[in-house]
Amino acid sequence: MTTRVARLGAGALVSWRLPVAALALLVAAFGAIMSAPDSGAATAPSTADEGPGKVLLVLDSSGSMKASAGSGETRIQAAKKALRQVVGEMPEDQDVGLRVYGAKVFSKSDAGACTDSQLVVEPGTGNRKQLLTAIDTYKPYGETPTGYALQEAGKDLGSEGRRNIILVSDGEPTCDPDPCLVAKELRKQGISIRIDVVGLDVNDAARKDLQCVARAGGGVYYDVDSSEELADSLSAVAKRAARPYEAIGEPVTGTEDAESAPEITAGDWIDAVDSQTPEKHYLVKRELANSTIIASAAYRSSQAGNDLIDVELTTPSGETCQLKTGVSSEGKLTATSASASPYTLAEECLTSPELILAVKYRGTDSDGTALEIKVSELAEVVDPESLPKPRTMTDWKKPAAGSRTEVTGGTSFADAEPIEQGSFKGTIVPGETLTFSVDAEWGQQVDAAVHYPPLRGGYADAADGTLAVAELYAPSRAPSSVTFTTPTTSKDRVLLTNGQTLLETSSGTVAYQRLASPTDNGAALNGSYIVAVYLQDTPRNASVAVPFELDLALSGDPGGEPTFNEQPIDGATEDPSESATDEPTDEPSDDSSSESSGKGEEGGGMSGTSLAIGGLGLAALAAAAFLFLRRRGGGDPAQT
């Protein structure tokens, strides 16, 4: 299914034996880093092309590691046991290193206590015997200079390529600098560095500190003090954490003023969140006459609070085509889009060869986070009145549950896990967004239902009062969850309780006429749609893997494909009958999905989540979730 008309660019619980937890988590984390294949999703320069990169394990060797971890073993013995197995399973060609801290200076009153960290094995290959020797010889001894150790770890890994830090600690830092601030500074080096954190039987204060490090470092925090039945699922969760977030796009740097904005065209572009330049501008060059432009901005929040992002398209003369706002928090992957189409009020939005894209970040803690800009260009449609009329309601096709296939899910647009119609199961940790991609043709509809079974014991303690979200995104990364369906679906965001939770969402029919509403342009393209599943992280959550079920339906007969007139902006014309559909070819297309083709590619699926400010009728729960609730009365379900 290839169409030439759209140009699109390339997301305190019940305790159990700590040795088992540490072993399962660390083995899985290292195994995933060392063996995760490239997704092959990105055609432009991006982190997706950098390979597994370097891995550095940073181990706490402070005196508290002498404490018992259960079953007669100390925490340090448990860590050593896990590390020995990890080293034994490492591929010989994987660059891995080891840094320890708190291993040589006993007391904070002694000189050098707060700079007590040593790179005992440099990152490299062929160093397995050296790693095993280092693991056997290091002992718990002194203070906890976590921040200094992270600073040095950043130097160990350098500033080029993909870099992964796994911090393993059992307590609060006892020295400056603040490890959370250090993680933020490291993250400013770019999106290619990630810090995941494993907390070994930590107290609440230490957990808070370590969670901050993980969020600021673009990673995920994991407790290994959890219920025994979670041991198996922790391995899958660690694998996701070890697979770095894969941003996609051609590097570009937006400017503070519109006059000096860099030129971009249909495709994928990558910038970074920068609080020093909260509003970034880009000059969008239209390539087809009277085309529809859809511009989106996506990022993964790294802070514990909430932040917002505005996406606005205007003409060079200052006419506003559309402004949208998205809300994100606690590691949520968010995409927000605005469009300039035949249905926007200003005619110049359709005819101007250039548009100004302004992306404004309103937050405090996401500096260095990848900001993915996507521009989609849809050619002028010939005789749109002949197409199916837009619907005021969507027929909800509730998916039928069947035998379930285990899924892991992606973490970004580039690595969304491809799935087809069917039933699936997996686990998600608070603070994660999991992404799944499904192809839909013109005339088809994607319906998804996410079910959280009744939770017991530690599961329920971790999930009670936590926000769960399920959303759909179009190939343009525009939110495409419809607001009104018949019969009415369950809400696509709710607070988990100790009972059952069901989330339902629908794309509506993939039809050009969805563009008839200037605020509802999500299902306006055929191609890869994204199901994004998110579970909120809060200070009271333990980072445990919560089971979920996903049912997906793809309904409707393909049809209603528009006829397009690809007329270049310079005035040259093409035969509309030729521009509607290409003949089948053995040559690969520019994109790897089945969506409308053009410049760039859609990757293995794209994701993101935009939330709106508004009411869901959950008044009693509003204090906990108001920033995530969407407006139910407008055409756009996910943005304001």
Residues of the chain with pLDDT under 70: 1-53, 69-72, 85-86, 89-91, 190-191, 224-245, 302-305, 345, 364-366, 390-392, 456-464, 497-500, 513-523, 538-544, 571-640
360 by Cβ neighbours in 10 Å (0-12 / 13-18 / 19+) ranks as: middle
pLDDT tens column, 333-368: 889 999 988 777 688 998 999 999 999 988 766 677
Other C-beta atoms closer than 10 Å to the C-beta of 204 total 10
What the chain holds in terms of domains, given with CATH numbers, is 18-37+51-191+193-242 (3.40.50.410), 250-386 (2.60.120.380), 394-570+603-628 (2.60.120.380)
Backbone angles phi, psi at 593, to 5 degrees: -110, 180
Other C-beta atoms closer than 10 Å to the C-beta of 31 total 19
The three-state DSSP-derived secondary structure of 97-161 is EEEEECCCCCCCCCCCHHHCEEEEEEEECCCHHHHHHHHHHCCCCECCCHHHHHHHHHHHHCCCC
Distance CA 172, CA 166 (A): 16
* Parallel/antiparallel/unpaired status of strands 433-440 and 563-565: unpaired
Distance CA 515, CA 126 (A): 58
- pTM assigned to the model: 0.67
- Which contacts qualify for 131-138: CB closer than 8 Å, 24 or more apart? 131/83, 131/87, 131/96, 131/98, 132/84, 132/87, 134/98, 134/100, 135/80, 135/83, 135/84, 135/87, 135/98, 136/80, 138/59, 138/61, 138/100, 138/103
Distance CA 226, CA 238 (A): 14
Q: What percent of the chain has pLDDT over 90?
A: 27
Which pLDDT score is estimated for 430?
A: 77
Q: Where are the alpha helices (DSSP H) in 200-304?
A: 204-216, 231-242
- CA-nearest of 530, 553, 549 to 447 is 553
Which pLDDT score is estimated for 288?
A: 94
pLDDT tens column, 117-175: 999 999 988 898 898 898 888 888 888 899 999 999 999 988 877 788 888 888 888 89
Which pLDDT score is estimated for 32?
A: 39
Which pLDDT score is estimated for 390?
A: 63
Which pLDDT score is estimated for 230?
A: 31
Backbone angles phi, psi at 179, to 5 degrees: -60, -30
What ranges make up the beta strands (E) of 389-526? 394-395, 404-406, 417-418, 422-428, 433-440, 445-452, 467-473, 485-486, 493-495, 501-509
